[in-house]
Amino acid sequence: MVEIYRRNSRVLNLTVTDEADAAVDLTGCTVHWVVCDAVGTALIEKSMGAGITIENATAGQIRIDLAPDDTDIPPGTYQHELLVIDENGNRYTALAGQFTVLPSLTVDIP
């Protein structure tokens, strides 16, 4: 589960692992991440070169950068999912869960 205050920045450092909890080699892979509302509408989308960086491919380490504009969505609990696509086009859901946006009293401060 991820929790963040509305209009806050955040860096999510993640390690993609397999069923045995071993790091997945991301060499040649592309990675996508999305946060959706209850009907499946994407509210936040990140991809490689647009918010996602593979920090260490062989160790399965990625970085997702969230800016205040990304998290400027109504407080509530959403679903998030991380998709990995290998060089052969095989798709793997590497992570899924809840993404909670908490209310912020300073949301209107630039």
Q: Please report, for the domain that includes residue 29, its CATH number.
A: 2.60.40.10
Give backbone dihedrals phi and psi of 36, rounded to 5 degrees, phi first: -125, 155
Residues 32 and 44: beta-carbon distance below 8 Å: no
- pLDDT score recorded for residue 106: 86
Give percent above pLDDT 90 in the chain. 92
List, in order, residues 6 or more apart from 59 with CB less than 8 Å away: 15, 23
41 falls within a domain: yes
Instruction: Evaluate if residue 91 carries a pLDDT over 90.
Output: yes
Tokens 């946060």 -> residue:
35
If pLDDT is split at 50, 70 and 90, which confidence band does 109 have? confident
34 falls within a domain: yes
pTM for the whole structure: 0.92
70 falls within a domain: yes
